[in-house]
Chain A
Amino acid sequence: MQKLSAILVDGTTYFSWLFIVSLGLTLTYGVMKILNIAHGSFYALGAYAASSAIGAYLAGAHPVAGAYFVLFVAGISIGAVAGFFIERGLLRPMYGRDEVILVLVTYSVFLVLEDVIKLIWGVDPYFAPQPYELLGRVSIGGIAFATYDFALLTLALLIGGLAFWALNFTRRGKLLLAVIHDREISTAMGINVGRIFTATFVIGAILGAIGGAVTAPAISVAPGIGVDVIVLAFAVSVIGGLGSVEGAALGALIVGLARAAAVHLWPEVELFVIYAVMAAVLAVRPQGLFGRAAARKI
């Protein structure tokens, strides 16, 4: 019983984190058809920016509660800046090239940003646990869980709800969906696809950076945190169906629970389980659980 509640709580915590990060990746892929490896760098940038911003803020003897605000401002601004310049400066001239080439461009960006992060923040780990500790702990079924993890779940649900509402009930969101469904027809109908590309990439980058920013208080922020995130986010997006918001949610839930279950029941297979699920889903439904099968072109 204790184990079950531990699995459920840890699973939902993984879910919240994975969902926020993967949502950005899947949106970018859906609209632009770019598998953005640099997404991991946005995550790392967000984490670093948030932890150093919180450090600077708390050094000034401000109330700790304000750190949450600082965390979001830091994440959103660094994501927006990095996303905007990379899309406008680097990706824009490449549109129309092969998908693989664009993946490699983002791979190069990832390599460059890895070192840029080391140049700016150095190689020593950063800690900013105050926002995490402030919320204290709650006890469920005899085990104490960090309240921060539940706040993270609330945030993930909020972001998911917001994304769903924006995509289905606002004009801009519907334009975005139209581009996801068919880029060419959208252009022909007069949608400014170039602007939508920039907006999507920036939103994706912000989501990645927020994912890093909200995780920063719970971990030690050290070089290399972006590398694992990318491939996890790939797994989540692919399971759900690349380009699908609902898919990202379901994929994050599956991966989160599978990983939590493995950690508690059979720790040796922790990593194996995630990719086994990914391979199994791909073997049965290559387009992912929520993806649409593409028509064959003759």
Chain B
Amino acid sequence: MRWGTVPALGVALVALLAVGPFLPAWAVFMLTVAFAKALVVLGLVIMMRAGLVSFGQGLFYGLGAYAAGLATNFFGLTDALVLALLGSIVAAATGFVLGFVMARYREIFFAMLSLALSMILYGILVRSSALGSTDGFNLSPPSFFGFKVGAQQSRLLLYMLTVTLACGSAMALHRFVGSYAGVISQAILTNEIRVEYLGASVTRVLHLVYVIGAAMGGLGGALVALAAGHIDPELAYWTTSGEFVFVAILSGTGHVAAPLLGMTIFEAIRSFALEYSPYTWQMVVGLSMLAVILFLPSGLWSLFSRKRKGETA
């Protein structure tokens, strides 16, 4: 029996919410961070389906995190959901403005310009002493729908919020992939000029896709900021952006659930590598990455889709 993507994600969401209270604290934190980052990758995957590989998603990730951080520390906004949405909106607005320029770029030029923009943000953050320079600053703990809760409940509620937002976004983006803009964006990847001949506006679709990537980046950044309780300029650095591209490729762009799975696996590998071999964790991550590229050319998701092909054949 084959399930539709939306019901399957719904079941996964219910399962994730149900196991939450029984998970140890480290797992709750790891999954929160993984799903928050998966949101960024989800946006990147949508962009990559249109052929836009951004080496600068750190820009929106950092913007979202700093927007949430500033709002909570300087304007006294503490509600987690409001902060997450605020991060997303700030990033999306920035993405909308930048999109007028970015939608004209392709391939390596798009990658490099997005890298430059994220490094500009990094350069600004590193030198702003009011925002703690390279050290960043700590966030005051969030509240949930008007209630202040203890540290442990707060962690669990944030996990539930993140998981809900991640699965919800995956469902929404699944709908997007099948929509007019979603279908056109795949056609753009195949042959852009023919799409123009057919009468569709490539620039407008790419602009939309770019804004989606930005909104998801900001949402993920804000949630990570809330989960970690601390932000620093590293969020906008090129290695962070590189990691997102890496996970997007590792997961594969074939399915909206792939980034959720890929990011969870990536975070798990990294957490365990950090725990058991703190001096060589980068090597472990690098080697696992190479192994996936060598042995699973279409990403982790191909493990599942291949099985399915066998079923239907």
Q: Which of A97-105, A157-165, A184-192 contacts B (4 or more CB under 8 A)?
A: A97-105
Which A residues touch B282, using CB under 8 A?
Answer: 111-112, 114-115
Beta-carbon nearest neighbor of B277 in chain A: A115
* Per-position binary interface string of chain A over residues 207-231, scored 1 when its CB falls under 8 Å from any chain B CB and 0 otherwise: 0000000000000000000010011
How many angstroms from the CA of A274 to the CA of B116 in the assembled complex?
9
Which B residues touch A171, using CB under 8 A?
Answer: none
- Chain A residues 261 to 276 lying within 8 A of chain B, measured CB to CB, are 267-276
Tell me whether B289 is interfacial, beta carbon within 8 Å.
Answer: yes
How many angstroms from the CA of A283 to the CA of B100 in the assembled complex?
11
A108 touches B113 (CB 8 A): no
B112 touches A268 (CB 8 A): no
* A103 vs chain B, min Cβ distance (A): 8
Which A residues touch B286, using CB under 8 A?
Answer: 107-112, 115
How many angstroms from the CA of A114 to the CA of B281 in the assembled complex?
10
Tell me whether B61 is interfacial, beta carbon within 8 Å.
Answer: no
* B305 vs chain A, min Cβ distance (A): 18
Known: A101-B249, A227-B239, A279-B113. A298 touches B293 (CB 8 A): no
* A202 vs chain B, min Cβ distance (A): 21
Which A residues touch B126, using CB under 8 A?
Answer: 271
Known: A104-B249, A231-B115, A234-B115. A275 touches B279 (CB 8 A): no
Q: Which of B69-77, B117-125, B135-143, B222-230 contacts A (4 or more CB under 8 A)?
A: B117-125
Tell me whether A52 is interfacial, beta carbon within 8 Å.
Answer: no
Beta-carbon nearest neighbor of A35 in chain B: B108
- Chain B residues 257 to 285 lying within 8 A of chain A, measured CB to CB, are 279-283, 285
Known: A238-B112, A286-B105. A107 touches B123 (CB 8 A): no
Selected from B101, B123, B246, B280, the residue in CB contact (under 8 A) with A275 is B123
Known: A108-B286, A112-B287, A287-B109. A278 touches B293 (CB 8 A): no
B249 touches A119 (CB 8 A): no
How many angstroms from the CA of A112 to the CA of B286 in the assembled complex?
5
A275 touches B116 (CB 8 A): yes
Beta-carbon nearest neighbor of B191 in chain A: A298
Which A residues touch B245, using CB under 8 A?
Answer: 100, 103-104
B120 touches A116 (CB 8 A): no
Which A residues touch B107, using CB under 8 A?
Answer: 99
Beta-carbon nearest neighbor of B127 in chain A: A268
* B271 vs chain A, min Cβ distance (A): 16
* A120 vs chain B, min Cβ distance (A): 12
Which A residues touch B119, using CB under 8 A?
Answer: 231, 235, 271, 274-275, 278
Beta-carbon nearest neighbor of B284 in chain A: A115
B120 touches A90 (CB 8 A): no
How many angstroms from the CA of A19 to the CA of B136 in the assembled complex?
33
B279 touches A118 (CB 8 A): yes
Tell me whether B290 is interfacial, beta carbon within 8 Å.
Answer: yes
* A171 vs chain B, min Cβ distance (A): 30
A104 touches B239 (CB 8 A): no
CB < 8 Å A-B pair total: 116
Which B residues touch A278, using CB under 8 A?
Answer: 112, 116, 119
Known: A111-B289, A112-B282, A286-B109. A269 touches B127 (CB 8 A): yes
Tell me whether B97 is interfacial, beta carbon within 8 Å.
Answer: no
Which A residues touch B53, using CB under 8 A?
Answer: 100
B283 touches A112 (CB 8 A): yes
Which B residues touch A273, using CB under 8 A?
Answer: 123
Beta-carbon nearest neighbor of B109 in chain A: A286
* B302 vs chain A, min Cβ distance (A): 14
Which A residues touch B242, using CB under 8 A?
Answer: 37, 107
Name the residue among B101, B119, B126 with the largest chain A CB count within 10 angstroms: B119
- Chain B residues 200 to 255 lying within 8 A of chain A, measured CB to CB, are 238-239, 242, 245-246, 249
Tell me whether B193 is interfacial, beta carbon within 8 Å.
Answer: yes
Known: A271-B123, A276-B120. A283 touches B113 (CB 8 A): yes
Tell me whether B21 is interfacial, beta carbon within 8 Å.
Answer: no
- Chain A residues 250 to 298 lying within 8 A of chain B, measured CB to CB, are 267-276, 278-279, 282-283, 286-287, 296, 298
Which B residues touch A227, using CB under 8 A?
Answer: 239
Tell me whether A18 is interfacial, beta carbon within 8 Å.
Answer: no
A296 touches B193 (CB 8 A): yes
- Chain A residues 95 to 144 lying within 8 A of chain B, measured CB to CB, are 97, 99-101, 103-105, 107-112, 114-116, 118-119, 123
Which B residues touch A276, using CB under 8 A?
Answer: 120
Selected from A93, A99, A109, A231, the residue in CB contact (under 8 A) with B238 is A231
Selected from B108, B283, B285, B289, the residue in CB contact (under 8 A) with A99 is B108
Which A residues touch B117, using CB under 8 A?
Answer: 275, 279
6 pairs of A and B residues whose beta carbons are closest in the complex: A271-B123, A111-B286, A272-B123, A115-B283, A112-B286, A275-B119
- What are 24 residue pairs bridging A and B, where the CB atoms are less than 8 Å apart in the complex? A37-B242, A101-B293, A105-B290, A107-B242, A107-B286, A111-B285, A111-B286, A112-B286, A112-B287, A115-B281, A118-B280, A123-B279, A230-B238, A231-B238, A235-B116, A269-B127, A271-B123, A272-B123, A274-B119, A275-B116, A276-B120, A278-B119, A286-B105, A298-B193
A residues apposed to B, CB below 8 Å? 35, 37, 90, 93-94, 97, 99-101, 103-105, 107-112, 114-116, 118-119, 123, 227, 230-231, 234-235, 238, 242, 267-276, 278-279, 282-283, 286-287, 296, 298
